[in-house]
Chain A
Amino acid sequence: MKQTIRTTVNDQQVEIAITSRTLLAEALRENLGLTGTKLSCGMQVCGVCTVLVDGQPVSSCTYLAIDADGRTVETVEGLAVDGQLHPLQQAFIDTFGLQCGFCTPGFLMTAKALLDENPSPSTHEIEEHLEGNLCRCTGYESIVKAVELAAARTSQGPRDA
């Protein structure tokens, strides 16, 4: 059965025609053409599909689009403002925190939720918060460094682990 939801996606009010089974990831990718959010495991354990709904990370591969009705959604496409990269995006580039890049949007969104709530996380807090995001390319070290670098650049600096 077709329905329409009204959502704010990356600060823009949108109406999306969906069915009851449409996943949020599908609505973003197919209906809005926002293909930055990726799909991989299909069972909310790999993190590539992470977007923020009302500021909280959700796995858009198992979050129904209809549940986003009336809520705000942030995707990787909304991180850069007026062509200026978000500090996390710049940090991932600077630390070589990506290789194939498929997991990167998910990591960025999860990390953004962390830094929005905790601007100076310890290394341990970063690991714990990001444990639900998999990366098969980098070995994670440069990703942790990226989040630490972004935190350092935008706040007083990271606490000792």
Chain B
Amino acid sequence: MRDPRPPVGVPVPRVDGVAKVTGAAKYAVDVAVDNMLHAAVVRADRAHAWIRGFGRDEALARPGCVAVITGEDVAARLYPRFGHIIPDHPILAIDRVRYYGEPIALVLAETPAQAADAAQLVRVQYEDLPSVMDASAALDPDAPLLHPEPYDLTGSALAAAVPGGPLTREGPAEADITRTNVAHEATVGWGDVDAALDTAYLVVETTTDYPMLYAYAMEPYNALAEFRDGLLDVTTSAQHPFMVQRDLARVFDLPLSKVRVRVPFVGGGYGSKSYTKIEPLTAVGAWFAERPVKLVLDVESAIYTTRTDSAHISVRTGFTEDGRIVARDFDVTLDTGAYADNSPLVLDKAINRCFGPYRIPHLRVRGRAVYTNTSPASSYRGFGAFQGNLAGETNVDQAAQQLGIDPVALRRLNLVDQGETFIRGRRPMDAQLAEDLDILAERVGALDATPAPDGKLRARGVGCSASDAGAIPTSTAQVRVLADGSVLLLTGSSELGQGSRTVLTQIASAELGVDMSCISVLGSDTFGSSFERTTGASRTTTLVGLAVQRACEDAVRRLRDIVAEVCDVSADDVTVGDGEFRVGDVALSFGDAISRWFGSGGGEITGLGVVRRAGDLTQLPPFWEIGMVGVALAIDPETGVVDVERLVTVGDVGFAINPHGVEGQDLGAATQGLGGALFEELHYDGPQIVNANVVEYRVPRITDRPHEIDAVLVERRDGPGPYGAKGAGEGALNPIGSAVASAVARATGVWPDRLPLTPERVWRLLNQQRPS
């Protein structure tokens, strides 16, 4: 492992800071081209219905309206669906709608106002079908089936489980979606859970519900698509341009080399912009109209594009008298909405993350993702961890109460050690969890509820989590050393605000000895960037960072070779310095080397770095992302309002390339966690969401922030990334819900079983009524 040197480890200013504070930074929504048409989406106003016909004439008669496109139009000429795991998602509904808000027609006009006006005049004839608005209705044997036709699973499809045998983690099971509404099933476990629970000293049972959330990336989904010279060119606000490229290539039957997906700055992602969303819809418009098409969604239609998986999770845990876990038995049901999107993967992760980083001799986790006639659910920050953590960690706190053991001590007793395998077949724990917990506990202080003269109820809660993060370790990077020795860094990472461009520039600067001011990182672009599988799963610093390091090594090696050739010495006689080489007394800068070798007129040398699932990265996950949080709450007993007086986060990150960047990510993650814990919930009433706007869907505001924030970074250099780095950005969200719930339980004497803990719900707990 290389030793870090500046600028890594230094909280240098963001490389995109000036662009963003001057308004010069371009997001996809800011991009326009000449001759552009504007699109508006006609959306279904039924939860489940056959489409029997359309009336387009009134819309087409409106000034400026150029086209009205339906799913039948698309299906007649193109591959009409997308979906990177199950391609179940029609670009436009074809024969039926499966959720209120589903896109059913695309209207194109010369201006956005004309498109919106015309869209209101598209007439639709429906024949209603019975609908299932929650998972239990969808699982009823008589429930209508949302997907009675099979789909060919894509390459990301999952291996079949071993049928009939003991519940071992061979891989998730393929669900038969043509006979039930189960989109995906997954199990993990070992040992004999039933026998262990039968003989346990104490069995504690907990059931929790985590609501549907909306990620609320403040830049709404938008895309600009154009066909030009046989090429499809799409600019979009997306996290994974290379994954979007794949879906688009399939829709239009184009080779990847004829599909360009560009991502400038992204105004927030948080997992909600993972994989394909409205790009095929926009591109279909451009294809039919033979003109560029721009589509920009608003908040309501964004909520009807992607929400998060809600979860109903039950757990039974068996303990010995002194508090050791002997068995955990989880049942996980995710409501994935009308289309699978990323939810099968969310389920795969949820089953690994719900039982916590504990030593568990007997484990059984059974999970299912269920189709319902609601907005499609997909990934969000935490990715299945926070839903399961609510159940698993409040269960541990309840056990502590029943056993009469301190909740921190109970956790400490059961946390796995560094180097210990706690999920069979997975990388052993790479972090020192007990030490992290000690730091957390010391900063949080005693958890018990204390009376206070101001009449408020005060109590604290802690939570911990470990996530199999990093996704798949596939990443490439290119370092182009230009004729004057300055550097272009090509990466397919998307800058979502997490600071990827800054961190990767810091790494390249340290590795090459070239000042950051001489390095440019280009926006991700499937044409110009180097292949990057995904931006998410807290993987960029660790895995893309490694690719950048390797690309720098490769560039230096190539440059050293040409110096040797130019100076007619062997490569061993060439020593490498900062941005330069030495041969004896002679110094040659990178630029000197290039111009000597190419001759006058310039040239360049490119280094390539490749990371893939081999060597040290064969075993998954590439690293464990740790969550260790604590909250101190003050509750007003008359109103139920919860005030967060203190927030403690411990970021076990291996090495912080940019410490301020990591702290910002931890606080941002924890704040979203507090949103889910205290404020946020999408409500369905009949077929539709009643609070699909940011007034009634309440996200944290400036006045909600904790009075004191204690963000700790722990750097033990124990990760696989550059200088021992590991990923961050989601860990601080995952245990917030359970930490808040446990604190509320300590204060009120009643265990909450659902979030968010709004004032009404807290008041009801205090007054011994069941929360609504």
Contacts and interface: CB of A to CB of B under 8 A. Distances in A.
Decide whether A and B are members of one complex.
yes
Interface of A: 21, 29-30, 34-43, 45-46, 48, 75-77, 79-80, 85, 89, 92-94, 96, 98-105, 108, 127-128, 130-131, 133-144
Contacts of B701: 131, 134, 140
Given A21-B113, A46-B694, A96-B14, A141 B709 contact: yes
Contacts, number: 157
B66 to A, nearest CB: 19
B10 interface: no
Given A35-B26, A102-B219, A137-B668, A40 B14 contact: no
Given A134-B694, A138-B667, A140-B705, 14 more contacts: A29-B30, A30-B32, A36-B24, A40-B299, A43-B695, A93-B14, A99-B499, A100-B497, A102-B497, A127-B702, A134-B699, A136-B668, A140-B700, A141-B667
Given A42-B298, A43-B693, A144-B702, A92 B21 contact: yes
A98 B267 contact: no
Which 6 A/B pairs are nearest by Cβ-Cβ distance?
A: A36-B23, A100-B497, A101-B20, A102-B267, A99-B497, A139-B667
Contacts of A80: 22
Given A40-B299, A130-B702, A93 B13 contact: yes
B23 A140 contact: no
A7 B30 CA distance: 23
B17, B21, B693: residue with the most chain A Cβ atoms closer than 10 Å: B21
B218 A45 contact: no
Main secondary structure of the interface of A (DSSP, over half): loop
Interface in B299-315: 299
B441 interface: no
Question: Which of A37, A80, A102, A144 has most B Cβ within 10 Å?
Answer: A102
A141 B705 contact: yes
B22 A40 contact: no
A138 B664 contact: yes
Contact of B22 (A38, A46, A89): A89
A136 B702 contact: no
Nearest to A42: B298
Contact of B671 (A36, A37, A140, A144): A140
Interface string B1-42: 000000000010110111111111111011010000000000
B218 A46 contact: yes
Contacts of B19: 101
Nearest to A86: B21
Contact of B27 (A30, A102, A139): A102
Contact of A139 (B14, B20, B265, B705): B705
Nearest to B19: A101
Interface in B132-188: none
Contacts of B113: 21
18 contacts: A29-B30, A40-B218, A89-B22, A96-B663, A98-B21, A98-B497, A101-B21, A101-B25, A102-B497, A104-B20, A105-B21, A134-B701, A137-B497, A138-B667, A138-B671, A139-B664, A139-B668, A142-B664
Contact of A37 (B23, B661, B665, B705): B23
Nearest to A92: B21
A143 B702 contact: yes
Given A35-B30, A38-B267, A45-B695, A96 B219 contact: no
Contact of A48 (B18, B21, B218): B218
A136 B22 contact: no
B278 interface: no
A160 to B, nearest CB: 15
B517 interface: no
Given A38-B267, A46-B218, A85-B18, A100 B13 contact: no
Contact of A100 (B29, B267, B298, B695): B267
Given A136-B268, A144-B702, A101 B668 contact: no
